[in-house]
Amino acid sequence: MKRIAVLTSGGDAPGMNAAVRAIVRKGIYEGFEVYGINYGFAGLVSGDIRKLTPKDVSDTIGRGGTFLYSARFPEFAQREGQEKGIEQLKKFGIEGLVVIGGDGSYRGAVALTKLGFPTVGVPGTIDNDIPGTDYTIGFDTAINTVLEAIDRLRDTATSHVRTFIVEVMGRNAGDIALWTGIGSGAEQILIPEHDYSIENVANEIKRGRENGKKHTIIVLAEGVMSGDELARKLWEHDEDFHTRVTVLGHVQRGGSPTARDRVLASQFGSKAVDLLKDGIGGVAVGIIGDKVIYSDIVDLLENGKHLPNLDLYQLNKEISF
Ligand code: F6P
């Protein structure tokens, strides 16, 4: 194998640039020529591909977003798009591909794997919802961004003795809510992986007030329901409940990656190159404990399931009253 390529796909995540940088630098260090594909699988199909030099990735390790651009490209689910993508790779003499992204991107990587093209997945998403790894690139930065926002909201919540609902991202996963709920000292955390009842939420808020709490912060994962819906349900339960809703939205995806995300991305990028060098494709890298590992990507996608650490959920119950 002489030429490899990298693309970023799906929602951007802080640290994607650091991963691309590591792939380019480590790839060149190992004697590869490294190509960058713009706009994810869309650019793969259209042939938006260019050679990258070590200089092209200078000053990118600390930048949020992805300088290779990203796109959601559902058309890649069709065989026709996949074959076109492989044709483009062959046209450029590329023999191995690294795909950085979330589960949608992994599906594209699996399709290429099933067609026999050596592909390595690198988990990059703020949601931290990818099986086969404890952490994904971007999660640490996102939760620190959320924490900063909630710390600010707490000032206002306390000053006005109010209840704030903070809706955070995560798609169907509760990791962002769980970690930021604990980190911000939130009174309630609602995640899709755990049951809740409006009555309990309301009772806990009341109990806190009776105990002299001046503020209540509810961190709500978007996968449960929207912040507005929760506010309405609480009000329907008890018309004395007046809440303020903050939807943090895409601010959670931006910003300079934390040290942890930069290091993780560099480790993942380097491992992906090692694997292609050894002729190993059809896998995804991950970190379990402090070990960088890899797993069969088809098996991950078909049988793997990500679950948040529910001990953290219980922990919050024990320390948030
Ligand atoms: O997967 C990352 C993520 O930010 C999710 O948390 C969120 O549900 C989704 O992407 C939003 O997608 P889009 O940027 O396409 O609106």
As given in the structure block, the two tokens for residue 22 are 């590591």
DSSP 260: H
Q: How far is the CA of 199 from the centre of ligand 1 (A)?
A: 30
As given in the structure block, the two tokens for residue 76 are 């890649």
Residue at token pair 């995806």: 253
The atom of ligand 1 lying closest to the CA of 126 is: 2
The atom of ligand 1 lying closest to the CA of 252 is: 4
Structure confidence at residue 215 (pLDDT): 87
Structure confidence at residue 321 (pLDDT): 85
* Residue pLDDT tens, the chain, 321 long: 899 999 999 999 999 999 999 999 999 999 999 999 999 999 999 999 999 999 999 999 999 999 999 999 999 999 999 999 999 999 999 999 999 999 999 999 999 999 999 999 999 999 999 999 999 999 999 999 999 999 999 999 999 989 999 999 999 999 999 999 999 999 999 999 999 999 999 999 999 989 998 889 999 999 999 999 999 999 999 998 889 999 999 999 999 999 999 999 999 999 999 999 999 999 999 999 999 999 999 999 999 999 999 999 999 999 988
CA–CA distance, 297 with 304 (Å, rounded to integer): 9
CA–CA distance, 321 with 130 (Å, rounded to integer): 32
CA–CA distance, 207 with 186 (Å, rounded to integer): 14
Q: In what order do the strands lie in the sheet with 163-168?
A: 188-190, 216-221, 163-168, 243-247
Report whether residue 125 contacts ligand 1, using a CB cutoff of 6 Å: yes
Structure confidence at residue 1 (pLDDT): 82
To the question of whether residue 209 is assigned a binding role by annotation, the answer is no
The number of CA neighbours under 13 Å toward the Cβ of 41 is: 31
Structure confidence at residue 292 (pLDDT): 98
Long-range contact list for 199-208, CB < 8 A, 24+ apart?
Answer: 199/237, 201/234, 202/234, 202/237, 202/238, 202/241, 204/321, 205/163, 205/234, 205/241, 207/321, 208/321
The number of CA neighbours under 13 Å toward the Cβ of 235 is: 12
To the question of whether residue 207 is assigned a binding role by annotation, the answer is no
Q: How far is the CA of 11 from the centre of ligand 1 (A)?
A: 6
Q: How far is the CA of 171 from the centre of ligand 1 (A)?
A: 7
Structure confidence at residue 240 (pLDDT): 86
Nearest to 300 by CA among 138, 109, 152: 109
Residue at token pair 């794997």: 113
CB atoms within 10 A of CB 141: 25
To the question of whether residue 126 is assigned a binding role by annotation, the answer is yes
Grouping H, G, I as helix, E, B as strand and the rest as coil, residue 188 is: strand
Structure confidence at residue 39 (pLDDT): 98
The atom of ligand 1 lying closest to the CA of 176 is: 6
- How do strand 291-296 and strand 283-288 relate by DSSP bridges? antiparallel
Q: How far is the CA of 92 from the centre of ligand 1 (A)?
A: 32
Query: Which ranges of the chain would DSSP assign to H, the alpha helix?
Result: 16-29, 40-46, 79-91, 103-114, 139-160, 175-184, 198-210, 227-237, 259-277, 297-303, 310-319
Residue at token pair 């190992």: 30
Active-site annotation, residues:
127
Nearest CA to ligand 1 atom 2: 11
Q: What angle do CA 85, 20, 272 make, to 5 degrees?
A: 75
Q: pTM of the full predicted structure?
A: 0.97
DSSP 15: T
